[in-house]
Amino acid sequence: MRRTVGSWGALLAAGAIYAVTALAQAVDAAGSSVNAVFTQMGVPVTAKFKRFDAEVNFDPAAPAGAKAWFEVDVASFDLGDAQYNKEVLKPEWFNAAAYPKASFTSSAIEAPAPGKLVVAGTLTIKGKSQAVKVPVNYRDEGGRRVFEGELPIQRLYFAIGEGEWKDTDMVADKVVIKFKIATAAG
Amino acid sequence: MNQTAPRYTGTAIALHWLLAALVITAFGLGLTMIEMPGITPTKLKMFNYHKWLGVTIFGLAVLRLLWRLFHPAPPPPPSMPLWQRRVASVTHWLLYALIFAIPLSGYFYSLAAGFPVVYLGLVPLPVLIEPDDQLKEVLKQTHFVLNTTLCTLVIIHVGAALKHHFINRDDVLKRMLPRFKSRN
């Protein structure tokens, strides 16, 4: 538990450093979204994280030098039904009491083509971290810069759904995180 | 007794009893699952089975209505008073309407709640509306009220069939029973 708190502290500090040292573009919360699509007995169900925080430091002239960080409040996960929303906070799912946040911190960004990035970084959910690479498209529209991408993950790696919920016939292992982050086009 | 009395066709009889069994199962499953506390794998399975049953009922209802349109029901016994014929006819057509309306209200309720229906976990069915909290509540109530109506009509329907069989001692029930029973 203590280690967890320590690592979260480090992460928050890292976030704070980005905010201070880099000219991070302000994230437009209304234009941004972080959703997760999971499959329950073949049925795709989309749920959204209603509260999240993101930092993006991006210069289109030097995209490879960009940095990104985002953090979601797992208690804000909304499946559109109060009973479901309560269920997913339990220890078998997010264990929101012990792990209130899930986060992503970029480590290296490639820019293979204009408008396209490949962002490598660390995804941390329920205290477990995984190195991931996610393709991201970006475009400027209406004075904003919009970054969009999809990251398929395996929920069981992060122990999302323990005990009887491990059954992947009930809830498939693959969950797709879909994100859209809008910032001021700076 | 009366071997020559007009009967429903074998297809109509099969569809009637198959639908009766599926409707009773879906109804019982629906009542059971909504009483289960919290969210458990068993409960989610029941929700899915309930939806698959609903889709099956809807499909069979389409077949049944088409069959009925081309194969009229045998006429009521001559002894049956006019008001009873009218009540029977209204009850039958309301039952037909409900085996369409109830699966549809459930289907749209599921869509409004953000859960598309995937038949048997294999065939994704069309997502015709977006999730909508207000509509979800309206459809939930609609599904419930239609089911209460169905339950009432089924009681009248079964009661009337038994009355015909045991009190009037006519062929109204027998003509909807499979052959092997009518020979008793």
Task: Report pLDDT for B179.
Answer: 78
Distance from CA of A167 to the nearest CA of B (A): 9
Rounded Cα distance between A175 and A94, Å, is 14
Task: Report pLDDT for B168.
Answer: 93
Closest-CA residue of B relative to A172 is: B121
Q: Is A164 on the interface with B (CB under 8 A)?
A: yes
Rounded Cα distance between B111 and A80, Å, is 11
Mean pLDDT of chain A: 87
Q: pLDDT at residue A80 above 90? A: no
A4-44: per-residue pLDDT in tens?
444 555 555 555 544 444 456 778 888 899 999 999 999 99
Instruction: Check B124 against A84: CB less than 8 A apart.
Output: no
Instruction: Check B38 against A41: CB less than 8 A apart.
Output: no
Residue numbers in B near A40 (CB within 8 A): 44, 115
Task: Report pLDDT for B106.
Answer: 98
Rounded Cα distance between A30 and A16, Å, is 22
Of A43, A83, A164, the CB nearest to B115: A43
Rounded Cα distance between A91 and B24, Å, is 37
Residue numbers in A near B121 (CB within 8 A): 41-43
Q: In 3D, which of B184, B183, B157 has the Cα closest to residue B172?
A: B157
Q: Is the ipTM of this complex over 0.95?
A: no
Instruction: Check A165 against B124: CB less than 8 A apart.
Output: no
Task: Report pLDDT for B184.
Answer: 46
- pLDDT greater at residue B176 or residue A16: B176
Task: Report pLDDT for A23.
Answer: 55
- Asked if residue B103 lies in contact with residue B58, where contact means CB atoms within 8 angstroms, the answer is yes
Q: How far, CA to CA in Å, does B85 sit from each of B71, B105, B156, B167?
A: 18, 29, 14, 17
Lowest-confidence region among A4-8, A17-21, B127-131, B160-164: A17-21
Phi-psi region of B54 (alpha: psi -120 to 50; beta: other; left: phi over 0): alpha
β pairing state of A116-125 and A77-78: unpaired
- pLDDT greater at residue A9 or residue A81: A81
Residues written for chain B: 184
Mutate to test the interface with A, among B44, B47, B110 (most CBs of A within 10 A): B44
Task: Report pLDDT for A29.
Answer: 84
Task: Report pLDDT for B2.
Answer: 46
Task: Report pLDDT for B67.
Answer: 96
Task: Report pLDDT for A5.
Answer: 47
The most confident of A21-25, A79-83, B108-112, by mean pLDDT: B108-112
- Beta-bridged to residue A130, according to DSSP, are A123
Task: Report pLDDT for B164.
Answer: 95
The burial class, CB within 10 Å (0-12 / 13-18 / 19+), for B143 is buried
Torsion sign (Cα): B121, B124, B128, B131: positive
Q: Is B32 helix (H, G, I), strand (E, B) or coil?
A: helix
Q: How many CA atoms lie within 13 A of B59 on its CB side?
A: 10
The mean pLDDT value for A86-94 works out to 94
A121-166: per-residue pLDDT in tens?
999 999 999 999 999 999 998 889 999 999 999 999 999 999 999 9
One DSSP character per residue, A6-20 reads HHHHHHHHHHHHHHH
Task: Report pLDDT for A61.
Answer: 87
The mean pLDDT value for A86-112 works out to 95
Rounded Cα distance between A131 and A14, Å, is 17
Alpha-helix runs per DSSP H in chain B: 10-35, 41-70, 82-112, 133-163, 179-182
Could you tell me the two tokens for B31? 């009542």
- Asked if residue A184 lies in contact with residue A26, where contact means CB atoms within 8 angstroms, the answer is yes
Residues written for chain A: 186
The mean pLDDT value for B51-74 works out to 96
Sequence-ordered list of residues with C-beta below 8 angstroms from that of B116, at least 6 positions apart, any chain = A43, A44, B110, B124, B125, B127
Distance from CA of B18 to the nearest CA of A (A): 26
